[in-house]
Chain A
Amino acid sequence: MTTSPLTVENLSFRYRDRKGAAIHELSFAAEAGEILLIAGASGCGKTTLIRAINGLIPRSYKGEVGGRVLVFGEDTARWKLSQISQKIGTVLQDPERQILGTKVLNEVAFGLENLGMAREEIYQRVDESLAHLKIQHLRERDTFLLSGGEKQKVALAGVLAMRPSILLLDEPLASLDPASAGETLDAVRALADEGMTVLLVEHRVEDVLRIHPKRVLYMSAGEIRYLGDVDGLSRVVNYHEVKLPAEQIVQRARRDPPPAEINVLPGAAAQTSRNDALVRFENVAFGYESDVEILHGINLEIKRGDVIAVLGPNGAGKTTFVKHAIGLLKPKSGRVLVNDKDTKESSVAEIAGTLGYVFQSPSHMLFAPTVREELAFGPTNLKHPKEEIEKEVKEALRIVNLSEVEQDPPLALSFGQQKRVSIAAILAMRSRILVMDEPTAGRIIRTT
């Protein structure tokens, strides 16, 4: 009899202090060399399933567990995390939370060092992992200087170095440009072809279909709604929740009423009296070191009513450009004007009144003990009157539908909720321009 690398039996979990179960009676097995795509909307239980398989539930996340997780037929309930991590590797959605080392080499070696492995063996495995993902050139780099996409690959390399049999990937494409995402997916395909069992959580189904996952597990409200081949998925899936190829959505959507037209930027139309250019870049150049320029010759204006998407590959300078607009970086030559004032002569608080920035990783900007205090911080800094702040915070929470977690610590919330908190923080400041880095995660706002 052959035993599956991974068997999940009647798996349920309810987080402590939450009412309903996050996942309910899930059962499936995954085979060696198989890519199993796990799809579903934000909040469907995908991340909980991943945590229950990799042992973080119940070791780090407390609550009520039902059912079993078997790795090669053995129940992992009594295993130590270090034991599980040699069989099951996990790459998270937010690489910021995964990367601990300051150098790439140390980061990739981290897990192996914890196992007390010999130096030569560690170096050999690190180099093998980096080569597998074609990122040998990053070996000696500082991790804090890496782009989001590079960080994700380094996190994956650290996991591969442990030579796991099962790989769990939780929305690994979220911070990657399409070309890098393609390379990562190709690497995942190659790993599966070598015998790895891969569970890939991703709502960008269209992108994943290119590497031919054998089966898809579609979840909704903590339960399995579909488990089968890819062709069957488009018939059962809610196309608002997972991203199917456009032709399939068009066919399905013909039977539904047309989507409502959206009233874009109602706030832009209301104001017409003031100068049109909110932000102006004049021949801006920038470099961290004296001779390496990251930005060159940028000229543009941001006008009222603009909804601007900044596209380009990882490392092209998109984030550096945006950091100039919000005054976090000042140009090496040329100038940036916000409300006709040079950012070199403006305080960060002054600029924040015009431009509010939502980071790619919400954990980078959230720090206060409660959501309420988090939201009050900006307007307090901008010296809004106290009773005004109270109103601004309430209103912002209502808009992002987070009033019920007002007293919770922001870092205890889910990734999607944290993203909403960070947008509410900008709303509360009444910034005139909203600036977002990768606003894709946590797509759905539940309206009650």
Chain B
Amino acid sequence: MNFMDAILQLPGFEAILFITHDVDLALIYANRILLVADGRLAADGAPHEVLRDFARLQACRVVPSSLLSLNVSRFAQTGRFLRAEALAHV
């Protein structure tokens, strides 16, 4: 089983906070994104709000991935961000 899938389903934790450089990990697993740049909170919100603003992401040196682009282009249909395996079945 995938490591993050296993972690998120562990009994006992009430919240999870993780630092990552992996935009895909953030869009698949998080229900909230904190975008930090120059010591400030540049954004705090749901993945589909924060990660859709490519101009702001670029300004914060976060590079959109192919999975993010695909999710943004299909968001009208899916209503949420999904991993590629799940997108294949929408």
Contacts and interface: CB of A to CB of B under 8 A. Distances in A.
A174 to B, nearest CB: 9
B58 to A, nearest CB: 9
Contact of A268 (B6, B13, B20, B35): B13
Contact of A253 (B5, B65, B84): B84
A433 B25 contact: no
Contacts of A310: 17-20, 34, 36
B17 A266 contact: no
Given A250-B87, A311-B34, A316-B37, A435 B17 contact: yes
A182 interface: yes
A202 to B, nearest CB: 13
B70 interface: yes
Interface centre among B18, B33, B39 (most CB of A within 10 A): B39
Q: From DSSP, what is the main secondary structure of chain B's interface residues?
A: mixed
B11 A266 contact: yes
Interface string B60-72: 1111011101100
A262 interface: yes
B48 interface: no
Contact of A246 (B8, B19, B67): B67
A124 interface: no
Contacts of A181: 21
Given A302-B15, A307-B31, A433-B14, A176 B21 contact: yes
B25 A309 contact: yes
Interface string B7-33: 111111111111111111110011111
Contact of A278 (B15, B18, B23): B15
B2 interface: yes
A442 B12 CA distance: 22
Interface stretch (A94-102, A289-297, A344-352): A289-297
Contact of A308 (B2, B13, B17, B21): B17
Interface stretch (A135-143, A186-194, A318-326, A406-414): A318-326
Interface residues on A, range: 35 or more
Interface in A198-228: 206
B40 A250 contact: no
B62 A313 contact: yes
Contacts of B47: 309
B14 A265 contact: yes
The 8 closest A-B pairs by CB, nearest first: A309-B26, A313-B61, A178-B63, A309-B30, A249-B84, A312-B36, A253-B88, A246-B67
26 contacts: A239-B85, A243-B24, A246-B66, A258-B86, A264-B8, A265-B14, A267-B11, A267-B12, A293-B39, A300-B34, A307-B16, A307-B31, A308-B30, A308-B31, A308-B34, A311-B23, A311-B33, A311-B34, A317-B36, A317-B40, A320-B39, A399-B10, A436-B17, A436-B18, A445-B3, A445-B6
Interface of A: 175-179, 181-182, 206, 239-240, 243, 245-247, 249-254, 256, 258-259, 262-268, 271, 278, 293-300, 302-313, 316-322, 325, 355, 360, 399, 423, 427, 430-440, 442-445, 447
Given A306-B15, A311-B20, A438-B19, 13 more contacts: A240-B2, A246-B70, A253-B85, A308-B30, A311-B21, A316-B36, A325-B17, A423-B7, A432-B13, A433-B13, A434-B7, A434-B10, A435-B18
Interface of B: 1-26, 29-42, 44, 47, 60-63, 65-67, 69-70, 83-89
